[in-house]
Amino acid sequence: MDSGMDIDGVDGTPKVEAQDELVDVEFSRPSSSSQKQKQNGLHSTLKDLPVKVHIRRPERDSWVYVGRAVVNYETSGSSGQVVVRSAASGKILVRFTEISELQAERRGNFVVVGIIDGAKVVSWSLNALNSSDTLKLLSCIQVCCHPSKLAVIDPNGHHKLQKRVERLIKEDRRKRHKRRKEADSMVEAFSRTTIGADQQQPIDVQ
């Protein structure tokens, strides 16, 4: 994997600060017209956007190349979703919806999306052609997958959901870093052992 895929060096997890006091906030449900306007905007922004797709499965440290794909914003009734389809077969590789428990982050021209699957994390890396497409992709995923209905109906539940996603992704990153550090230590120890053995070999003098 090239250096562009080494995304673990920066912790881009957003911080959520606890408030010192409770504040009464009045939530208003978005109107159907504003929802339609948002969907139209996402449709025009995210249409047949080409990407290269990699996946990192749970308990794995390396990325696996999936192939080229196109990303579109699609609607089903009043809800929308970001759909990633194989450019070769048209098969859906992954879709991101409002009910997806995920966190999307930018790493150069990559958008890395961590999705919670039970208590594990499946990571998708979408490599766009340029910075402009990367920003479009990231913003559309964040807007489309924001659980706005839950935030309105149950703000406390929405906050707990966000914290759970952040916690599981941080824990997954911590475990990967630990495994990588242990692997590096083993390689270093093996190198020292090999060098020491070579130095002890007798030298034949003719």
Task: Write out the residue range of the structural domain in which residue 84 sits.
Answer: 29-190
Predicted pLDDT of residue 112: 96
Query: Is pLDDT above 80 for 40?
Result: no
- Identify whether 15 is part of a domain: no
- Identify whether 95 is part of a domain: yes
pLDDT category at 141 given cuts 50, 70, 90 is very high
- Identify whether 54 is part of a domain: yes
- Identify whether 76 is part of a domain: yes
Count of structural domains within the chain:
1
pTM score: 0.67
Which has more confidence, 117 or 145?
117
pLDDT tens sequence across 101-138: 999 999 999 999 999 998 899 999 999 999 999 999 99
Mean predicted lDDT score pLDDT of the chain: 77
Query: What mean pLDDT do residues 17-44 have?
Result: 45
Over the chain, what HEC string results? CCHHHCCCCCCCCCCCCCCCCCCCCCCCCCCHHHHHHHHHHHHHHCCCEEEEEEEECCCCCCCEEEEEEEEEEEEECCEEEEEEEECCCCCEEEEEECCCCEEEEEECCEEEEEEEECCEEEEEEEEECCHHHHHHHHHHHHHHCCCHHHHHHCHHHHHHHHHHHHHHHHHHHHHHHHHHHHHHHHHHHHHHHHHHHHHCCCCCCC
Q: What is the domain-level CATH number for residue 168?
A: 2.30.29.30
- Identify whether 165 is part of a domain: yes
